Amino acid sequence: MPDAGPALLIEGLRHRFGEHAAVDGIDLRIEQGEIFGLLGPNGAGKTTTIRVLNTLLPIQEGRIEILGHDVRRDPMGVRRRIGYVPQQLSIESTLTGRENVTWFARLFDVPRKERTVRVDDALGVMGLGEVADRLAGTYSGGMVRRLELAQALVNRPRVLVLDEPTVGLDPVARDGVWQRVEELQEATGMTVLLTTHYMEEAELLCDRIALMHLGRIKAEGSPAELKRELGPDATLDDVFRHSTGGSLDGAEGARGIREIRRTRRTAGRVG
């Protein structure tokens, strides 16, 4: 049963925490099969947007559809169609890699007779076949992240949602994650929505990007389009500075450092 419509449709989304509007009226349309990047500094509202569209937070104002399924009316239908990897490295360290993935296969109601094959597939695609029966607590940060991708993929989602998938990883592990996401997208044609604040990554990987700042979308288009508008030698960093009046690095305040530290701590604990 193919789902019609765009992979993601957001209309007039607003989300407040008390007085503070974390997401301040955004519209977004992502077609099926795109790799779409949501870019911006910490505190731009990327994670809140993700947490509303994946049903973790209630929709306060606005409307979201995923593959034609209204997130407010049919949260279960939405959950069955998306794979989600949160920013924080999070696996069960006293289970093996395989057990971690099988657990999620069960939670997504993967039929018993397909389960073993799908779990092996997901682990294999993420390059974890060899270490699948080791305790996940012995994995490195990059392996944990790939294990989480395997957990999200075991359901064969139509839309893969990745929140800052490479924060806290070393460059080699980061490349490993991106390369696999790209291969996977090519092989399956699934839609990938990711957030990041690494401009160069977004530029290499994404078909289209949206620049987010203070809860609003400031610019949207393919990386090439966005740069062309500014001039021949413009970089995405320039685009960002131009459309927000601030630099991406400079916008990283105390909160950013704390978050990175937290991610590192988690990585240390699980890896």
Partner 1 sequence: MADAVVIAEPPIWRLFPDRVATFCLVELQKLRHDRTEMFTRAVQPVLWLVIFGQTFNRLHAIPTGGIPYLDFLAPGVIAQSGMFVAIFYGIQIVWERDAGVLTKLLVTPTPRSALIIGKAFAAGIRSIIQVVVVLILSVVLGVTLTENPLRILGAFVVVVMGSAFFACLSMTIAGVVLKRDRLIGIGQMITMPLFFASSALYPVAIMPSWLQALSRVNPLSYEVDALRGLLIDAPSHLWLDIGVLAFSVVVGIMASSLLVGRLAR
Q: Is residue 48 within a helix (H) or strand (E), and if so which, with residue range?
A: helix 46-53
In the chain, the largest separation of any two C-alpha atoms, in whole Å, equals: 56
Give yes or no for residue 140 binding partner 1 (CB under 8 A): no
Restricted to residues 196-235, the positions that interact with partner 1 (CB under 8 A) are none
Number of helices (H), then strands (E), belonging to the chain: the values are: 10, 10
Q: Which stretch binds partner 1 (CB under 8 A): 19-27, 102-110, 171-179, 252-260?
A: 102-110
Restricted to residues 32-71, the positions that interact with partner 1 (CB under 8 A) are 51, 54-57
Give yes or no for residue 108 binding partner 1 (CB under 8 A): yes
Rg (CA), the chain: 18
- Which residues, listed in sequence order, are joined to residue 192 by a DSSP beta bridge? 35, 160
Question: In the bound complex, what is the minimum distance in angstroms from residue 202's beta carbon to partner 1?
Answer: 23
Question: In the bound complex, what is the minimum distance in angstroms from residue 228's beta carbon to partner 1?
Answer: 35
Out of 16, 156, 242, 264, the only residue in the binding site for partner 1 (CB under 8 A) is 156
Q: Which stretch binds partner 1 (CB under 8 A): 37-45, 154-162, 212-220, 230-238?
A: 154-162
Across 134-167, b (16+ Cβ under 10 Å) vs e yields eebeebbbbbbbbbbbbbbbbbbbbbbbbbbbbb
- The 3-class secondary structure across 184-217, one letter per residue, is HHHHHCCEEEEEECCHHHHHHHCCEEEEEECCEE
Interface size with partner 1, residues (CB under 8 A): 51
Question: In the bound complex, what is the minimum distance in angstroms from residue 99's beta carbon to partner 1?
Answer: 5
What are the DSSP calls for 137-165, one per residue? GG--HHHHHHHHHHHHHTT--SEEEEEST
Give yes or no for residue 4 binding partner 1 (CB under 8 A): no
Q: Which residues bind partner 1 (CB under 8 A)?
A: 1, 3, 51, 54-57, 76-77, 79-82, 84-92, 94-96, 99, 103-104, 106-111, 121, 125, 135, 148, 151, 153, 155-158, 184, 187-188, 190, 266, 269-270
